[in-house]
Amino acid sequence: MADKTTTKKELRRQRRQQEKVQRTRAARRENLFVWGGLGAIVLVTGFIVFQSLNPANQPGTVVLDQGNQHLSDVTEPHVPYNTVPPTSGPHMGGLWNWGISEEPIPDEWQIHNLEDGGVSIQYDCPDDSCPELKAQLTAFAGELLNDPSLKHPTTGDTHLILAPYPGIRDASGGKLIALTAWARIQYFDTLDRENILKFVRTYINVDHHVRGQG
């Protein structure tokens, strides 16, 4: 009788031990699943962030940075700019007025605006050959200039310029619109609100001053 009782107790002990082992294994599997899932999320998130920060995946075409040299006058000789309109390089020490301009802005002036985290939207409509496009761009630029989320946190201005610019068609293979930021350019055939806004939001208010230069 004592042997049977001992055997039952031993069986119960063994069952409890087996159940404990099974619970431990299940908990380990669950932890592995959870941590594995978290690790996958971290990896995916990191990849997405890396891709979003990768210059090749940001709006526009990357352009070789031509530096921040200051000029004393717009007529001062300097290296030719590597894009039309320009995106970096020698420029005047002052800023052009932000906003909508009816006249083309000299290259040497508009570059400093880009250096100060500006974005320029420029169009090529010689002899007022595309009044509808000009009207569309003017209205769109007005919306951007009044968008509080685009204002510079220090100056309170919206670092955006809209202006005509002869030569965009020849430089771009016939496109009418050029968006420029520091060392970035993108051409458009028409008013592409979504992608123009994406370009503006990506580069506006990003300062490009270099200590001791520009």
- Concatenated DSSP letters of 26-60: HHHHHHHHHHHHHHHHHHHHHHHHHHHHSGGGSSS
Residue 79 contacts residue 91 (beta carbons within 8 Å): no
Determine the distance from the C-alpha atom of residue 3 to the mean position of all C-alpha atoms in its chain, rounded to a whole number.
Answer: 79
Q: Which residues of 152-161 are buried (b: 16+ CB within 10 A; e: fewer)?
A: beeeebbbbb
Mean pLDDT of the region 45-52 = 41
Euclidean distance between CA atoms 182 and 200, whole angstroms:
12
> H or E stretch including 95?
none
Per the DSSP assignment, residues forming a β-bridge with 163 are 122
Q: What is the mean pLDDT of residues 178-183?
A: 98
Mean per-residue pLDDT, 22-47:
69
Pairing of strands 160-164, 119-123: parallel
pLDDT above 70 (res 212): no
d(CA 181, CA 188) in angstroms, rounded, equals 15
Q: How confident is the model at residue 38 (pLDDT cuts 50, 70, 90)?
A: low
Specify the pLDDT at position 42.
45
With 70 as the cut, is the pLDDT of residue 48 above it? no
Where do the H-state alpha helices sit in 54-164? 107-115, 131-145
**What's the mean per-residue pLDDT of the chain?**
88
Q: What is the pLDDT of residue 208?
A: 94
**Helix (H, G, I), strand (E, B), or coil: what is residue 20?**
helix
Helix 193-203, helix 131-145: angle, nearest 10: 40
Binning pLDDT at 50, 70 and 90, where does residue 16 land? Answer: confident
Q: Is the pLDDT of residue 116 over 50?
A: yes
What are the CA-CA distances from residue 68 to residues 107, 108, 110, 186 (Å)? 13, 11, 13, 21
CB 193 within 8 A of CB 73: no
- Give the closest residue to 192 by CA, choosing from 152, 108, 136: 136
Q: How confident is residue 47, by pLDDT bands cut at 50, 70 and 90?
A: very low
Higher pLDDT among residues 209 and 142, named by residue: 142
| Res 50: pLDDT | 42
Cα distances from 198 to residues 57, 109, 114, 118, 138, in angstroms, run 12, 25, 17, 14, 18
Strand partners, 91: 70
Q: Which residue has the tokens 């294994």?
A: 25
- Give me the pLDDT at residue 77, please: 96
Q: Provide the 3-class DSSP secondary structure of residue 160.
A: strand
